[in-house]
Amino acid sequence: MRRLMSAGLFALLASSAAHAADPLTLQLKWVTQGQFAGYYVAKEKGFYDEAGLDVTIKPGGPDVAPEQVIAGGGADVIVDWMPAALAAREKGLPLVNIAQPFKASGMELTCRKDTGIAAPADFKGKTLGVWFSGNEYPFLSWMSKLKLSTQGGPDGVTVVKQGFNVDPLIQKQADCISTMTYNEYWQVIDAGIPADQLTVFKYEDQGVATLEDGLYTTEAKLADPAMVDKLARFVKASMKGWAYAAEHPDEAAEIVLDNDSTGAQTESHQKRMVSEVNKLVGGSDGTLDVKAAENTVAVLMGGGSDPVITKKPEGAWTSAVTDKMKTLK
């Protein structure tokens, strides 16, 4: 009897092992918020489970650099902006874009209209708030395109290192600040400055947009066919999450809030954020638009005497994962 029970137990354990979900860790670029709704939805609605994955989602923050996390083995895949990923690649970290959920850029420069800024030519002599930690690259390329020094003076611009808030604009410490269509712009509105008192320059409209919120892993991981299969299942389930978020934005926002351990997010702001982020995803299936990637490279190399990257990257993106994804049932 004991022998039969042992045999049965062994078979049960073997079966469980055979069907165990594959672990995968995702490192986000920023804190838990609607910007990443698709991933939280995919986890909450069981899309990762259906794909045979046990996904851990790690929030980011001001002290978290996704590139450093994956370099140190703390993640299998990261959400990153292509400028930061390409800059890291040129410095020796072989990051590769495996999918691009965001089709469009949400980055913009928001200015108080009472500063007299009505066009980019009016930036001369002004003070502009800029995010750093890798987020400054598109801005620096734009200023180079405009032939504006970022060292100040009447013929240049003074750059203020902007925290991840809108205080410099509200307190008139800067004439313009960096904002995202889905986040900080609305913080300005909520702070009491109406839209008709603002002038907004979207990077997309200025021809200096770069790809944001792509999914990246390392060349070493892509050399493993089993990992490519795992990543393909991850991307497919994630895009299913994004599609669900587009169809059920309010529910997606609630799922984000449920995963916000800080309690810092508000329902109204997250619902609005999910709605705006869905516009950037735009029904994407995760496939990278190579022309958009090449445009990002061109923008980053157009940095005058101090470009973000100095040469066209080779192997910085691959369709191996999304091609594999399209073969999955």
Distance, CA of 236 to CA of 312 (rounded, Å): 29
- For the cut 70, the answer to whether the pLDDT of residue 244 exceeds it is yes
Indicate whether 84 belongs to any domain. Answer: yes
Q: Give the residue from 181, 202, 223 where a domain finishes.
A: 202
Residue 9 is assigned to a structural domain of this protein = no
Q: Are residues 96 and 113 in the same domain?
A: no
Mean pLDDT of 191-197: 96
What is this structure's pTM?
0.90
Clarify whether residues 137 and 197 are in a common domain: yes
What percent of the chain lies above the pLDDT cut of 70? Answer: 93
Burial (0-12, 13-18, 19+ Cβ within 10 Å), 226? exposed
Q: Are residue 194 and residue 283 in the same domain, yes or no?
A: no
278 belongs to a structural domain: yes
> Per residue in 23-68, pLDDT tens?
999 999 999 999 999 999 999 999 999 999 999 999 999 889 999 9
Last residue of a domain, one of 165, 183, 202: 202
Q: Give whole-number Cα distances, 211 to 71, 104, 296, in Å.
A: 21, 7, 6
Beta bridge partners of 217: 96
Distance, CA of 267 to CA of 251 (rounded, Å): 11
Measured CA to CA, the distance from residue 29 to residue 64 in angstroms comes to 8
pLDDT at 138: 85
pLDDT band at 119 (very low <50, low <70, confident <90, very high): very high
Domain count, the chain: 2
- Residue 1 located in a structural domain: no
Higher pLDDT, 20 or 1: 20
Distance separating alpha carbons of residues 135 and 131, to the nearest angstrom: 6
- Structural domain ending residue among the three candidates 172, 202, 232: 202
Write the pLDDT tens digit of every residue in 122-180: 999 999 999 887 778 889 889 988 999 999 999 999 999 998 889 999 999 999 999 99
30 within a domain of the structure (yes/no): yes
pLDDT higher than 70, residue 86 = yes
Are 269 and 237 in a shared domain? yes
Please identify which residue in the block is written with the tokens 């991850």.
234
In angstroms, the Cα distances linking 302 to 96, 138, 201 are 22, 10, 19
For residues 98 and 225, membership in a common domain is answered with yes
- Report pLDDT digits (tens) over 256-299: 999 999 888 999 999 999 999 999 999 999 999 999 999 999 98
Domain boundaries, position 123: 107-202
Q: If you ran DSSP here, which 8-state letter would residue 58 be given?
A: E
68: enclosing H helix or E strand: helix 66-71
